[in-house]
Amino acid sequence: MKSKTLYLIFLIFTTKVYAIDLCDILKGKQRSQGAKSCPTIKKGNLLHRLHKESSVIIGQPIDLNYSHTLIDILNQLPKDLQKNILLSHEISHVTTQLISNYKNVKLLKYHGEDFTWAQDFLPFITDKNGRKSIFNIPYPDEYIRSTSSKLAKSCQISELNTFKKGFDYEKVGPGDFGGNIYPLTDKTLFVGDNISEEVISKLEKNTDQQIEIIDTSWFETGHVDEVISLLPGVLKKDQKSCDFTVAIPSPSLAMNLINMDITQREELINFKDYLNETSDAYYNCLQLLAESKKDNFSSKLCRSFRDYNLEMDKIFNRNLETVKKALKRIDKCDLKSIIPLPVLLAPIDKTSDKSVLGYSRFITFNPINNILIEKQVILPKQNYTPFTEYINETLKRLKLNTSYVNSSFLQYLAGGPHCNVKVIRTCKSTN
């Protein structure tokens, strides 16, 4: 009886606070100007990032400064962008502050403890009429699973991919979460090789997109949104080339930028905050580079750091080749507009120095993990000035604007802004 009462309270609350705006968007009744036509499909489609955005759902704020900065940026973007924040009923002080500061942000309040990763548990599949269904993720946390289900029921949209009674959610890993399911085009959907066969099977049942697999098993959380990023615009184009750009992480670029730097070297010591305590050799290298303008990654003290990141570079480039081959086969286009963005990684523990697989984490803020809304790219704030300058200049060539948020708390949790924010995209009915 208690659970039914809580559910009725939930329905009343959501009807008053956000149902009209968000639910109309999810039902395909409310679309933004400039939306593309929905893909020609029989089943469904996970809309990629070049489709028009209509709403954002921001994960629960742990760091209020981050949340305020992010909302300030969003408020400078299209006025018809509907904004929501997921909140636990248990953090009333955060709720009070957000209400008092932002009247145009709707609060989605649920019972639970951690709604940080909105991207991970709120994938939406769109039909040819622009109507959404929630593709349920087998998230281990029961409250999070019930959140997507309650949202579907309150907005009267379908739930897909329901799991049978008795399913063991404790065995589910991060490979099955939304950050590891990345639509690149209307026809292609990339997932990491750590995804379960069961989730792949349910994706195949509910979407027409061709599922392609890339290597993410080397990474701490193992998500595709850490290794490829779809961006509008092109640097190179001919009749056969794809009409978009793909960004990838590049440790070799990061090391080259550091080797060339003679003015900001002291900032390199900032990277130590994300080194595991077992990575003494990597810390010593950073300290050497921070204190010396003569040394570089070829220095004896830095060779293990360099070699490790060059191995990671090979993985990223192999993934890029997989992406290029898939686009040529499925979308019939050549991916020629590719931009590397600087990152550095380190092993989580000493055992992984010899074997990269499964033990890496980013020690710099990964610019691939970004939010795209129209021509605005919202990135994690970099802790090294030459990286920021390079990113700004590179994205400017694509006629994109850049904004930065201090996502250090997300970095500690092995995530970034893209993991924290679910952008709901829309399309025009083909009927």
Residue that is written with structure tokens 């990964």 in the block: 366
**What SS3 state is found at 259?**
helix
* Domain locations along the chain: 2-235+347-426
When computed from its CA atoms, the radius of gyration of the chain, rounded to whole angstroms, is 22
DSSP characters over 155-167: HT-EEES---TT-
pTM for the whole thing? 0.91
Q: Compute the average pLDDT of residues 391-414.
A: 94
Looking at per-residue pLDDT, the higher value among 100 and 88 belongs to 88
Rounded (5°) CA angle 133-138-144: 80
pLDDT (0 to 100) of residue 248: 98
DSSP characters over 11-77: HHHHHHHTIIIIIHHHTT----TTPPBPP--SS-B---TTSEEEEEEEPPPSSHHHHHHHHHHHHTS
pLDDT at 88 exceeding the cut of 70: yes
Q: How confident is the model at residue 296 (pLDDT cuts 50, 70, 90)?
A: confident
Q: How confident is the model at residue 165 (pLDDT cuts 50, 70, 90)?
A: confident
369 within 8 A of 419, measured Cβ to Cβ? yes
pLDDT (0 to 100) of residue 413: 86
pLDDT tens for 314-332 read 999 999 999 999 999 999 9
> Which 8-state DSSP code applies to residue 293?
S
User: Pairing state of beta strands 210-214 and 229-232?
Assistant: unpaired
182 within 8 A of 189, measured Cβ to Cβ? yes
Residue that is written with structure tokens 């069961």 in the block: 198
Neighbours of 409 (CB within 10 A): 15
Encoded tokens for 67: 């949340």
pLDDT (0 to 100) of residue 98: 64
Q: How confident is the model at residue 349 (pLDDT cuts 50, 70, 90)?
A: low
pLDDT at 309 exceeding the cut of 90: yes
Lowest mean pLDDT among 43-57, 300-314, 354-368: 354-368
User: Pairing state of beta strands 345-347 and 338-342?
Assistant: unpaired
Q: Compute the average pLDDT of residues 43-71.
A: 90
pLDDT (0 to 100) of residue 262: 83
Q: Compute the average pLDDT of residues 123-137.
A: 93
pLDDT at 266 exceeding the cut of 70: yes
pLDDT at 8 exceeding the cut of 50: no
Is the CA virtual torsion 392, 394, 398, 404 positive or negative? Answer: negative
pLDDT at 7 exceeding the cut of 50: no
pLDDT at 203 exceeding the cut of 70: yes
CA 431 – CA 424 distance, rounded (Å): 21
Neighbours of 269 (CB within 10 A): 15
135 within 8 A of 160, measured Cβ to Cβ? yes
Phi and psi angles of residue 16, each rounded to the nearest 5 degrees, phi first: -75, -40
pLDDT at 397 exceeding the cut of 70: yes
Assign residue 374 a region: left if phi > 0, alpha if psi is -120 to 50, beta otherwise?
left
User: What does each C-alpha distance from 341 to 17, 249, 256, 355, 368 come to in angstroms?
Assistant: 40, 5, 12, 24, 7
Looking at per-residue pLDDT, the higher value among 180 and 80 belongs to 180
pLDDT tens for 218-262 read 887 889 999 999 999 998 778 889 999 999 999 999 999 999 988
The mean predicted confidence, pLDDT, of the chain is 86
pLDDT at 20 exceeding the cut of 60: no
Q: How confident is the model at residue 141 (pLDDT cuts 50, 70, 90)?
A: confident
Largest CA distance in the chain: 71
CA 422 – CA 179 distance, rounded (Å): 10
* Helix H or strand E encompassing 251: helix 251-260
Domain 2-235+347-426: homologous superfamily in CATH? L-arginine/glycine Amidinotransferase; Chain A (3.75.10.10)
Fill in the amino acid letter for 405. Answer: V
Q: Compute the average pLDDT of residues 410-414.
A: 88
pLDDT at 11 exceeding the cut of 60: no
410 within 8 A of 417, measured Cβ to Cβ? yes
Residue that is written with structure tokens 């960004």 in the block: 247
125 within 8 A of 157, measured Cβ to Cβ? no
> Which 8-state DSSP code applies to residue 232?
E
